Amino acid sequence: MTLAVVHSISLPPGVWAGDAVERLFTNRLDWDAHPYFQGIRGLQVSAHFFVRRSGRVLQFAATEARAWHAGVSAWRGRTNCNDWSVGIELEGLEGLHFEAPQYRALARLLRSLARRHPLREVVGHEDVAPGRKADPGPGFDWLRLARCLHGSGLAVPRVG
């Protein structure tokens, strides 16, 4: 694993808290619990980590395991990012800001991952699937993340 891919998600969109994201990532979402869920019925996705707006980090898959977070993707000419990246979902929506505790938790998580794996770069879903995905979106402060990661050896190509 040499790449971290940052995503954003909330279910239903714009609803924080609740357990719908956890249920989606563990294949336990009640598709009839909200009208929005009908449009994503049967979706099978996962991520390694989910960072709540409070900064609480939940883990859904071992970092050595493949998670289904990037879909059809490529970075620096290498395809199938799911095979060689860690997926980190932030509770939020494209275009909206993210919370200070999320940036702190994300930086701690990335530093920890970089100590255990040959992690080198942090990018957005929008970078590995341009035109198909737009998260975490313009509300995500890449410069802030880069400052939090200063000295870690992790590159944040969006600012460098």
Say how far residue 137 (Cα) sits from the centre of its chain.
11
Q: Is the preceding omega at residue 101 within 30 degrees of 0, hence cis? A: no
Told to judge if 89 belongs to the known catalytic residues of this protein, a careful annotator would answer: yes
Strand-pair category, 49-51 with 85-91: parallel
Annotated active-site residue in 89, 91, 94, 126: 89
Listed in order, strand segments (DSSP E) in the chain are 3-9, 49-51, 57-59, 74-75, 78-79, 85-91, 121-124
Query: What is the C-alpha radius of gyration for the chain, rounded to an integer number of angstroms?
Result: 15
What residues act catalytically?
A: 89
